[in-house]
Amino acid sequence: GAGVSQSPSNKVTEKGKDVELRCDPISGHTALYWYRQRLGQGLEFLIYFQGNSAPDKSGLPSDRFSAERTGESVSTLTIQRTQQEDSAVYLCASSASGGQAGQPQHFGDGTRLSIL
Partner 1 sequence: GQSLEQPSEVTAVEGAIVQINCTYQTSGFYGLSWYQQHDGGAPTFLSYNALDGLEETGRFSSFLSRSDSYGYLLLQELQMKDSASYFCAVGSARQLTFGSGTQLTVLP
Q: Interface with partner 1 by CB under 8 A: which residues? A: 4, 33, 35, 41-45, 48, 50, 56, 59, 91, 93, 98-102, 104-110
- Indicate the residue among 14 and 101 with the shorter CB distance to partner 1: 101
Residue 91 in contact with residue 75, Cβ under 8 Å?
Answer: no
Q: How many CB atoms lie within 10 A of CB 4?
A: 21
Taking the complex as a whole, how short is the minimal distance between the CB of residue 92 and partner 1, in angstroms? 9
Residue 86 in contact with residue 113, Cβ under 8 Å?
Answer: yes
Taking the complex as a whole, how short is the minimal distance between the CB of residue 62 and partner 1, in angstroms? 19
Taking the complex as a whole, how short is the minimal distance between the CB of residue 12 and partner 1, in angstroms? 17
Return phi, psi of residue 14, to 5°.
-85, 150
- Indicate the residue among 80 and 107 with the shorter CB distance to partner 1: 107
User: In whole angstroms, what is the distance from residue 101 CA to residue 20 CA?
Assistant: 28
> How far from the centroid of its chain's Cα atoms is residue 96's Cα?
17
- Indicate the residue among 3 and 16 with the shorter CB distance to partner 1: 3
